[in-house]
Amino acid sequence: MAMTITEKILAAHAGKDQVVPGELINARVDLVLGNDITGPVAIKEFNRIGAAGVFDRERIALVPDHFTPNKDIKSAGQSKIMREFAREHKIVNYYDVGRMGIEHCLLPEQGLVGPGDLVIGADSHTCTYGALGTFSTGMGSTDIASAMALGETWLKVPESIKFVFEGPLKPWVTGKDLILRIIGDIGVDGALYKAMEFTGSTIANLSIDGRFSMCNMAVEAGAKNGIVPPDQITRAYVEGRCRRPYRFYQSDPDAAYAKVYKYDATKIEPQIAFPHLPENCRAVSDAGHVEIDQSVIGSCTNGRIEDLREAAKVLRGKKVHNNVRLIIFPGTQDIYLQALGEGLIEAFIRAGAAVSTPTCGPCLGGHMGILAEGERCIATTNRNFVGRMGHPGSEVYLSNPAVAAASAIMGRIAGPWEVE
């Protein structure tokens, strides 16, 4: 029977020759993830069920990244719960301040996820790892607690939707723009509990960082997971990095899909998602005159080295507008160091930006960039719901890094070509 890449990975982890959409399966997991918001809840449930220990101390990752460095007493307590649990159970992959990064940038970088893996995390953007040909999805803290104890979870096999992009991208167009365009077309529930599979010549030539951005935002269309079939670009990233053996799966040519969407990538411009949903997309050339108060570049969507390079291309030799606060968040310590070595950090600071240690910070309205009533922010993050980055009366506009950088210079939403 023909199967998609998602179905093949799930079948392999369920010990079955085949699975079909809608089927309930019990599957072993390769990695279980928790952060400083969801991890403590999972730990509480883990202790409540009386588990003797974790199923594998090398296959659990705990990353305090949402409110760290700790912004207050409550967030310090959350991190302390994770720290003590990691010590008690000798968790190998515990990342504290100074070693941590934004979890969905950090785990691939550290080789903790790889092609063919099944990864679950108590964070909705766990779907990011699909960029490597991984089945990865977010779950609730109770599911994470049982997986930490048993090393397995149950799933309903999702139907798959295929998105085919053909042709070269225009200048300044990135993976972020492709996924925003998709969400603009199908809506925030257009792929509800589906697997979003990204293919075509455009994707085959898209960088690994661009693929991470696309899979990261699959959940913003309601998807169970996003995934890119692995290829030589994938291999170049994972070789010498992955800590476990990995396997490349490919969809069968005659695999069944719920829907197939086709795009001419040559016609796609940089996109802006207007408040208050990621589906409210339009081309930046159609944005109109929208003045901003803040620009944020970073997050698990766009905090990787390629994202910082794109921002630096726009910012180098320019100055941030007097009415704008520009905050930049490298995704991990290694990315920060690489950006430092390439002179990107100096370019940012000379332009008038503030550069932060890795943290989710303002993305979820946590800290280090909260918006006041009436303020507008353009951000390379993934959500722009009401009150997402602060006051319910504030507004968030989503874009790629180059557009966010150009907007910081112009004081309004702008394309990078406007400052060249």
For 16-40, write each residue's pLDDT tens digit.
999 999 999 999 999 999 999 999 9
Burial string for 15-53 (b: 16+ CB within 10 Å, else e) reads eeeebebeeebebbbbbbbbbbbbbbbbbebbeeeebee
Of the given ranges (49-58, 173-182, 223-232), which has the lowest mean pLDDT? Answer: 49-58
Q: For position 122, what pLDDT does the model report?
A: 93
Q: For position 364, what pLDDT does the model report?
A: 87
Domain 272-418: give its CATH code.
3.30.499.10
Residue 265 tokens, joined: 């990538």
> What is the CB neighbour count within 10 angstroms for residue 267?
10
Q: For position 52, what pLDDT does the model report?
A: 86
List of residues 6+ apart from 270 with CB closer than 8 A: 172, 173, 174, 177, 283, 284, 399, 400, 402, 403, 415, 416
Q: Give the ranges where 187-323 is alpha helix by DSSP (H).
A: 201-204, 208-216, 232-238, 299-302, 305-315
Distance of CA 91 to the CA centre of its chain: 24
**Nearest-angstrom CA–CA distance, 183 and 280:** 8
CATH architecture of 5-263: 2-Layer Sandwich (3.30)
**Nearest-angstrom CA–CA distance, 213 and 125:** 10
> What is the mean predicted confidence (pLDDT) over 111-135?
97
Q: What is the pLDDT of residues 345-391, one digit of tens each?
A: 999 999 999 999 999 988 888 889 999 999 999 999 999 999 999 99
Q: For position 190, what pLDDT does the model report?
A: 96
**Nearest-angstrom CA–CA distance, 37 and 22:** 31
| Three-class DSSP category at 318 | coil
**Nearest-angstrom CA–CA distance, 5 and 227:** 8
> What is the mean predicted confidence (pLDDT) over 316-328?
97
> What is the mean predicted confidence (pLDDT) over 394-408?
98
Q: For position 299, what pLDDT does the model report?
A: 95
> What is the mean predicted confidence (pLDDT) over 313-342?
97
Across the chain, mean pLDDT equals: 96
**Nearest-angstrom CA–CA distance, 129 and 117:** 9
List of residues 6+ apart from 84 with CB closer than 8 A: none
> Based on C-alpha coordinates, what's the Rg of the chain?
20
Q: Element (H or E) spanning 88, and its range?
A: helix 73-88
The CATH 3.30.499.10 domain(s) of the chain lie at 5-263, 272-418
Q: What is the pLDDT of residues 370-379, one digit of tens each?
A: 999 999 999 9
Q: For position 420, what pLDDT does the model report?
A: 76
Residue 245 pLDDT more than 90? Answer: yes
Q: For position 352, what pLDDT does the model report?
A: 97
| Three-class DSSP category at 5 | helix
Q: What is the pLDDT of residues 172-207, one digit of tens each?
A: 999 999 999 999 999 999 999 999 999 999 999 999
Q: For position 146, what pLDDT does the model report?
A: 95
Q: For position 355, what pLDDT does the model report?
A: 97
Q: Which one, of 420, 418, 374, 368, lies nearest residue 396 by Cα? A: 374
Q: For position 1, what pLDDT does the model report?
A: 85
**Nearest-angstrom CA–CA distance, 331 and 356:** 10
